Structure formats: structure tokens, C-alpha cells
Structure 1
Amino acid sequence: MAAFEALFRDFGPRIRAYLLKLTRDRQAAEDLMQETMLAIWRKAGQFDPARGQASAWIFTIARNIWIDAWRKQKRPTFDHDDPALVPDPEPDAPERMVLSQSGAALHEALKTLPPEQVELIRLSFFDDASHSTIAAQTGLPIGTVKSRIRLAFGRLRTALEEFK
């Protein structure tokens, strides 16, 4: 106990000052200093004087304890009521009907397009392929892919307006 008291008297204020510089919070520095001193006491048998000075070992323990506390503090808490985490409500009957009719209208509008434009729309929007990937797959120049998709959109827009 006398050795711990001497160690505490000698290193306690220095560790507190070091942790205060890191945390900028007196109470946190005091708590971390006490935690550091307990860790030093528990790990005293692990100290090897051949590997360096005792002060370097002690301040390494203090720094590691501060890092652990900082990581715990910075970890976001999980809020079950966060609107971003709540799934969208299921559509009610009128919304489902509108979605179903919109889907049916889109299918009918796609039937009005030439097959090569339907294929480009499918690759781009349903398979999520980039224009360059589509160009490589189809053997078409990238400019042709872009212009055909743009043309297909114009035709789809016209066809969907007719279904309204």
C-alpha cells in the first residue's frame, strides 16, 4: 500500500494534467487518472524495465485508457424511434390500386417501344447497368446507347400520357 501511495503521489498529478490536456474536462481527467492508477497497480507485474522507463509505460497506459474512453463516448447510440430506421408504412388500398395501375400502364407503354429500346431500358433501369457497360454488352457506341435511351424515354412519356 505504501508503494501504491508513493506512486499515486508522484504520478497522479502528472497523469491528471496529461489527461486534462487530452480531454479538456476536469472531471473526465480525474476519473481517467484514477482508472489509470488502478490499471497500473493491477499490471505492475507486467512492467519490464529492460523495455523502457516506468514513466513511459505509465503514460502509455493512461493514453490507452483515454482512447478507450473516447471510443466509447463517440459511439452513436441506436435510437429505435429514428424516422430513418422506421420502415415506410404499407400503402393503403387506394395507393396499392394506383401503384398497380401505374405498373400496368408502364408495361403497356413498354410494349409500344421497339425491342432494342426495351432492352436498353431494361439493362439501364432494371438491371442497373451503366451506359458504358450496356455499350460493351450490346456492341453499340456509348453515344448510341445514350441517345436510344433518351428516345425511349420520350416515347414512354408520350405513351404514359395517353394511358391517363
Structure 2
Amino acid sequence: MNALGLNLAAPPEMRLAPKPKDDARWSALLVAVGRDRDRDAFAELFRHYAPRVKAFLIRTGLSPAMAEDCMQDVMVTLWRKAHQYDPARAGAATWLFTIARNRKIDLIRRTRRPEPEDLPWGPEPAPEQADALALQQETARLAQAIATLPPKQRDLVERAYFGDATHSEIAAATGLPLGTIKSRIRLAIDRLRHAMQNERRDLPRPHDRH
């Protein structure tokens, strides 16, 4: 029995019969499934394509167990969406193996995502007041440091980090060579780093307040 409750084991006479090679036959069977919900047509499609789909999935990297599950999903999709099949646009094999490829991609994506129980739920806790104040002060110091940059460097930093422009986009907008842009931004970042480090060293420490 398969996922749709059909007995799809091929009878001996069908196993001995030669398989038709004309894709028009499989297309006609697929149309019959979509138009008439023809279970016999579906069973024949399943017998022919299920092992081929599974072999394709294994060849392209899935384990046999994953390939089996994915193949079952593909065949269920065939049953449910056969009415969408248009034989004038694609053969049955092309249509079905496209579904198989897409299902494989979906399966791989799901296995790489964290499970729902591993995801954080609810809103993130609000930052502590001291942390929020420190962040605010750090932002103000950074703004002051940027204001002290030479105008040409400040313009490029603002375009790159606040305007979210790439170096190539800045070059197109300003007419400057790409190397000049990279050099000026690198110098600006070094200036900002030193300015922020010096600012932190000048801040009063907790024991200095007593």
C-alpha cells in the first residue's frame, strides 16, 4: 500500500510486459489522472516512475531513506496536481522530474533549518538600562568621530555605511577610481578605530569616581 492507500505492486504479467517507450502514453495517463482521477492510470504511472524518481534522488545526493520519503511526496504531488499538467508544454517525465528536483531542494532546506523547538519564542528581552545608555553613548561618540574625518573620507564612509552603497556604486556616483575609494575608506576606518579607542581610554573608570 502506498501513501494514497493503493496497492501498487505490479502483477506478474505486467512485470513481464515490455515497458512502453513513447512518452505520449505517460502524458495521456497523467492527463487521465488530472481529468478523471483515474486510479488505474496513477498506479501505472507510479509503477513506472517511482523507482526512477527514487534512483534519481539517490544519484543526486539523498540517502535511500530520504529518497524514499521524497519520492512518496513527489508521487502524492502527482496525484494532487495532475490537473495542472499541460502536455503541450512538457512531457510527463520532464514535469515529474521537475517536481522531484524541487522537492529535493525543499527537503534539503528543511534539514538545514533549526527545528521549531530550537528557535527562540516571544519577544527578545529589553536591554538593561545601563546597556542602553552605554550603546547610546557609544553611538554619540562614533558620530563625533565621523564628524572629525576629512570631508572626502567622511563622504565615502557615509555613503558606504549609512547609505548602504557598494564600492562600485560609489565609484559610479562620484567618478572616483575604485582603488581611491577603497583606500580612503580604509584610512577613514583606521582613524575612527583610533579615535574610539582613545575616547574609551579617556573615559572615567568606576573606581575613579570615588
TM-score band w.r.t. shorter chain: 0.5 to 0.7
Residues 23-34 of structure 1 mapped to structure 2, 5 A cutoff: none
Give the structure 1 partner of residue 136 of structure 2.
100
**1:86-108 deviations in Å (ceiling 9; x for gaps):** 66432111110111111011011
3-state SS of paired residue (1:89)? coil
**1:94-134 deviations in Å (ceiling 9; x for gaps):** 11011111101101111110122111011111122111111
**TM superposition shift of 1:59:** 2.1
Give the structure 2 partner of residue 33 of structure 1.
none
Give the structure 2 partner of residue 119 of structure 1.
155
TM-score (norm 1): 0.57
State which structure, 1 or 2, has the greater radius of gyration over its C-alpha atoms. 1
3-state SS of paired residue (2:180)? helix
- The verdict on how the C-alpha distance between 1:119 and 1:43 changes in structure 2, with shifts beyond 3 A counting, is same
Q: Do the aligned residues in 2 keep the contact of 1:120 with 1:145 (CA within 8 Å)?
A: yes
- The verdict on how the C-alpha distance between 1:12 and 1:96 changes in structure 2, with shifts beyond 3 A counting, is closer
103-112 or 122-131, which deviates more:
122-131
- The verdict on how the C-alpha distance between 1:143 and 1:78 changes in structure 2, with shifts beyond 3 A counting, is closer
Residues 13-162 of structure 1 mapped to structure 2, 5 A cutoff: 13-14=9-10, 43-44=37-38, 58-60=43-45, 66=72, 67-69=74-76, 74=107, 76=110, 79-83=115-119, 88-162=124-198
- The verdict on how the C-alpha distance between 1:135 and 1:84 changes in structure 2, with shifts beyond 3 A counting, is farther
**1:33-67 deviations in Å (ceiling 9; x for gaps):** xxxxxx9xx834x97xxxxxx6xx53225658931
The amino acid of 1:14's aligned partner reads A
**TM superposition shift of 1:79:** 4.8
Q: Which runs of 5+ in 2 are unaligned?
A: 1-5, 12-32, 51-70, 78-102, 201-210
Q: Do the aligned residues in 2 keep the contact of 1:112 with 1:159 (CA within 8 Å)?
A: no
Distance 1:110 1:127 in 2: 14
- The verdict on how the C-alpha distance between 1:81 and 1:115 changes in structure 2, with shifts beyond 3 A counting, is farther
3-state SS of paired residue (1:160)? helix
TM-score (norm 2): 0.46
Higher helix share: 1
**Total equivalences in the alignment:** 120
The amino acid of 2:189's aligned partner reads F
Q: Please report the RMSD computed on the Cα atoms of aligned residues, expressed in angstroms.
A: 3.7
